């Protein structure tokens, strides 16, 4: 069964990944972390991340660790 798509806010992303805002935004600017989705039309509207993209990032990090250990 497929889980529904879910958007998660910054505090949840920080908790899941173990990195703070500045580090996440630095990685986004370098193309190393998923970019957020704007929740409104205004430039200053809140943002959130697709949970499955954050989970994929975590899985990629785990896979890279395991490959390096092999």
Q: Could you tell me the CATH number of the domain that includes residue 59? A: 1.10.1660
Residue 14 lies in a domain: yes
What's the structural domain count of the chain? 1
In a domain, 2, yes or no: no
Residue ranges making up the domain that contains 23:
7-69
Question: What gap in Å lies between CA 60 and CA 3, rounded to an integer?
Answer: 20
Q: Give CA separation, 15 vs 18, 19, 61, in Å.
A: 5, 7, 16
Q: Cα(first)–Cα(last) distance of the chain, in Å?
A: 33
At 25-66, the pLDDT tens digits run: 999 999 999 999 999 999 999 999 999 999 999 999 999 999
What pLDDT was estimated at residue 19? 98
The answer to whether position 26 is within a domain reads yes
- Rounded CA gap, 11 and 47, in Å? 11
- Position 12 in a domain: yes
pTM above 0.75, yes or no: yes
On whether residue 1 sits in a domain, the answer given is no
> Which tens digits make up the pLDDT trace of 13-35?
999 999 999 999 999 999 999 99
């Amino acid at each position: 069964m497929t889980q529904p798509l879910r958007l998660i806010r910054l505090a949840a992303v920080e908790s899941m990944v173990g990195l703070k805002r500045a580090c996440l935004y630095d990685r986004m600017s370098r193309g190393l972390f998923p970019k957020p989705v704007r929740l409104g039309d205004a430039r200053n509207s809140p943002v959130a991340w697709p949970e499955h993209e954050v989970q994929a990032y975590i899985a990629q990090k785990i896979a890279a660790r395991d490959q390096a250990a092999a």
